[in-house]
Every structure is written in C-alpha cells, then in structure tokens.
C-alpha cells in the first residue's frame, strides 16, 4: 500500500468509522500505525484494543491471526463499506489534487500575464519617455535657432537705428510700447526694464532673467527663449486683447439685458392689470379670453357681484381661469349680498343662501352667527325648517362639530324625507367619522332622492383626500368593497395625496 496516511491505514484495518482512527497523533491512530509497520504493541495498547471491542484487530496485533484471516473474520458488509470509503477518499484526494493543480496553473498564468502586462507597460513608458525626450531635444534645437534669429533681427534693427542721422536712444516707454506692455507698471523698473532693453538691442539674456520672465511674463519668456517669433508674439497679445474686449462686451451686454429685464419686471409689477391678475392668481390666460376676464376681475374687485352669465362663462369657456381665489371672492360677494338681503327682508331663504356661500369661502363661523340669528317663527314651514337644519348641519360639519351636524341632518331628513340634501350631509359626516356602512346607506338614499352620482363621488374624493393616512386606508377598503369599479379612483396616486 503506497498511501500511509492515518486515513488509509484506518481503511486498511477497516476501522475508519471509529472516532479517532483517522486523526493523526490520537491513541488509536498511533496503535494502527504500529500494527501497520509490524511493530509490537504493549500490554496497555492491547488492552485498549480489547476495551474498544476490536477483537479481530487485537488477535492480529497479538499475532494470533494473519491479515487475510483478520479480513475474513470481519463482517463482509463492513469490509465492503471500508473499501468504498477508501475508494471515495482516494477519488476525493485525486479531485482535490487536480483542483490544486488547476489553481496552481491559474495562479501561474495570472503571474505570467501580470508580468507580461508590466513588461509591456514599462516598455510603453520607456517609449513615451524616449519620444518625449526626442520632442524636448527637437524643441530645444528649434528654440535655440529661433532665439538666434530673434536676437539677430533685433540686433540688425537696432544697428540700423543707430546709423540713422539724428538718432535718439529709445526711452523705456518706447521699448515697452514695442513689446505692447506699456500699461504694465513693471516695464519702467528693474529688472524688467533691463530685460526689455537687452531684448530690444538683440543681446542674449542670462538664465536668471529667463527664469524671471517664465515666472511672471510668459509671452515675453517664449519670445526671449525662442519658442515664438516677434510677429507671433504680437499676434498672441492681439488675440488676448481681443478676447478680453469680447468678454467685457459680453459682460456689458448681459448687464444691459439684466437692466432691461429688471425695468420690464418693475413696470409689469406696477401695472394695475398685472397686480389684479396676481391678486386673483390668474398668471396665464388665453389672449382671446383676456379682455372679458379682466373686465370681470375689475368688476368683482370693486366689490360688485358677478352676473349669472358671468359665472356660467367662468365655469365653461374660462374654466381654467376660474381660480380658487376668484371663486372665494365671488362666494364672499354672494354671501354678503344674501346676508344683506336677509337683514332687509327677513326672508330665511336669503339666510340659507348666504350661509351656503359663506361655507364656500371658508367663513363657517359667520354663517353660524347668521343662522343663529334667524328667529324661531321662520321654522314654521317644514321645507324651510328642513333647509335651515341641513344648512346649519353643514356649517357644524365645517367647524368640526360632527355629532351636532348629524343631529341637525336627521332633523332635516325627518322634516323632508324625500329631499336628498339631508341625506348627502349625513353620508358625508358619517364617512368622516369612519362610519362607512352608515355613510354608504345615506348616500344610497340620496341617489334614490335625486342626488347625482357625480356630485356624491366628488364629495367622497374630497373627504378621502383630507383624511389622514390611517383613515384613508380604512375608507379605501370600504369603498372598494362597496363598488370596486365605481371607486377605482382610490388607487390613483393623486387621489391619495393630501390637500
């Protein structure tokens, strides 16, 4: 047997199923190793085998039987199981070795690939360095040539000037103008003045002077170092000046446009028509509708009521311009009118109408005070009494006094059983209180008495939007259980949002 691992020896003696037999350095593992190498056991070790009830192994270790007889004495099923275990162990070992070999190959390939990549990268870097060095050397050569050309041109020009009759030495200002830097204060002082004079006369500059220019005057440095010619130097300065001028002009144009926009805004904001539209939140308007709309805004802003035809027009052709603020003011004007009419005529229907308009412009408290002022003798006719109760109940609902609203709604229903208005009030208040079954019942009665489904659904949507999250979920479940198709809007995102 080539494999002498603890596991292989344990399989050899058919005891790999015993705890400790396959673990190196355990008592049983050491005994098995001695038997395998035909080394005698001590009496204590033989006793340990006897203690483990390994009778056949004890006989083999003590020399009573040979290995073949030992195997023959064992349970054939145990021997077969041990052989299977040994084969599986060997196969597992071979798979592990193959996997480790594959891992080693993969690691080697990765190392070789990384090395090749590194070598290629270093070669590329060296090539880039060589290319850059060649470019630098070429630039230095070209710059040296250009520098010499610049110097000789300047020297020749200065020599010609010297030879002219009446020659006058140029001033520092003249030289600064020659290089287009006369606006710089440094041009008249050292060291720049000395540098400009040397350049002007075609003399070479010292490294210190070149370094000074490189740090502070890049264009002059490029000219002095031979990176450019005098003509190109002037062209670069002209281009920079043109860019600065363009930037200044652009800034001026932007400032002009800003000033114009500011003036237009101020004029617009001081325009009475704009202020009127802003007051009533009419920010955009169809130009074809604007003249009539402005006339109505002026009318209502002057404290006047809108005609019935005006209200119809606002609810149809100009519906998108009938803003909440405009509606609020319209209802306020109507409420004031009917309240004044009630005080003049003592007709309770005027108080009812005024109350309805006060509610629409969020003035429920004023509506309550008006209704309370209606004397008891106005309640003689059941129709008026029912209408007063229903209107009063609506006001109490607006004020959050829902239990009182329910009592008033029921009284109105008892007085006018065939009128749908008390039913819609009771349906709405019960929905707000979470009494959904009762609310549905009252709404059903309202429909039977003439209330439109559209008006009921619009009211339900308002209640749903105003409810808190927990109440919305409960109301949603109730509506879907009642009629999932009719109330499918509860699943729409917009319906679930707060006001």
Burial class (CB in 10 A: 0-12, 13-18, 19+), 73: middle
CA dist 261 and 86 (Å) reads 94
CA dist 409 and 424 (Å) reads 9
Predicted local distance difference test score (pLDDT) of residue 1:
63
**CA torsion through residues 172, 174, 179, 180, sign:** positive
Continuous H helices in 164-229: 172-178, 192-201, 207-216, 218-224
Predicted local distance difference test score (pLDDT) of residue 497:
54
pLDDT < 70 stretches in the chain: 1-2, 494-499
CA dist 173 and 69 (Å) reads 123
pTM of the full structure: 0.51
Place of tokens 């002026």: 298
Helix 308-315, helix 290-301: angle, nearest 10: 130
Predicted local distance difference test score (pLDDT) of residue 498:
47
Q: Which two tokens stand for residue 83?
A: 């052989």
Predicted local distance difference test score (pLDDT) of residue 496:
55
Q: Which two tokens stand for residue 420?
A: 């749908």
Predicted local distance difference test score (pLDDT) of residue 186:
85
Q: Which two tokens stand for residue 208?
A: 């210190």
């Amino acid at each position: 047997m080539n494999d002498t691992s603890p596991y292989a020896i344990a399989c050899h003696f058919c005891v790999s199923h015993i705890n400790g037999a396959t673990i190196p350095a355990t008592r049983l593992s050491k005994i098995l190793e001695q038997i395998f190498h035909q080394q005698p056991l001590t009496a204590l070790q033989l006793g340990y085998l006897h203690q483990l009830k390994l009778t056949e192994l004890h006989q083999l270790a003590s020399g009573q039987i040979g290995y073949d007889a030992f195997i023959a004495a064992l349970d054939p099923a145990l021997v077969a199981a041990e052989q299977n275990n040994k084969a599986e162990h060997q196969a597992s070992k071979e798979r592990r070795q193959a996997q480790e070999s594959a891992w080693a190959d993969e690691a080697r390939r990765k190392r070789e690939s990384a090395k090749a990549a590194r070598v290629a990268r270093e070669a590329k870097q060296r090539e880039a360095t060589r290319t850059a060095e060649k470019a630098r050397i070429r630039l230095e050569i070209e710059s040296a040539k250009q520098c010499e050309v610049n110097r000789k041109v300047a020297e020749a020009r200065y020599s010609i000037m010297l030879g002219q009759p009446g020659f006058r030495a140029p001033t520092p200002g003249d030289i600064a103008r020659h290089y287009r830097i006369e606006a710089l204060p440094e041009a008249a002082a050292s060291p720049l003045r000395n540098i400009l004079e040397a350049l002007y006369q075609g003399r070479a500059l010292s490294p210190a002077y070149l370094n000074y220019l490189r740090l502070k005057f890049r264009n002059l440095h490029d000219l002095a170092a031979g990176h450019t010619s005098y003509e190109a130097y002037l062209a670069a300065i002209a281009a920079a000046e043109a860019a600065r001028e363009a930037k200044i002009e652009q800034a001026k144009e932007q400032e002009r446009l800003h000033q114009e926009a500011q003036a237009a805004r101020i004029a617009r904001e001081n325009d009475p028509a704009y202020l009127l539209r802003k007051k009533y939140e009419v920010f955009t308007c169809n130009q074809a509708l604007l003249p009539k709309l402005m006339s109505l805004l002026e009318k209502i802003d002057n404290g006047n009521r809108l005609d019935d035809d005006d209200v119809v027009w606002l609810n149809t052709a100009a519906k998108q311009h009938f803003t909440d603020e405009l509606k609020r003011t319209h209802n306020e004007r109507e409420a004031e009118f009917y309240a004044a009419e009630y005080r003049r005529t003592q007709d309770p229907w005027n108080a009812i109408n005024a109350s309805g308009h006060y509610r629409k412009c969020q003035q429920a408290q004023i509506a309550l005070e008006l209704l309370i002022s209606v004397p008891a003798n106005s309640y003689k006719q059941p129709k008026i009494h029912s209408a007063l109760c229903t209107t009063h109940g609506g006001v109490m609902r607006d004020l959050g006094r829902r239990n009182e609203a329910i009592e008033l709604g029921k009284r109105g229903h008892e007085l006018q059983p065939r009128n749908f208005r008390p039913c819609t009030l009771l349906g709405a208040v019960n929905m707000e209180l979470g009494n959904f079954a009762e609310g549905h019942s009252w709404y059903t009665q309202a429909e039977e008495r003439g209330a439109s489904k559209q008006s009921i659904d619009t009211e339900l949507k308002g209640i749903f939007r105003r409810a808190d999250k927990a109440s919305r979920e409960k109301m949603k479940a109730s509506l879907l259980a009642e009629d999932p198709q009719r109330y499918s809007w509860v699943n729409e995102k917009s319906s679930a949002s707060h006001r």
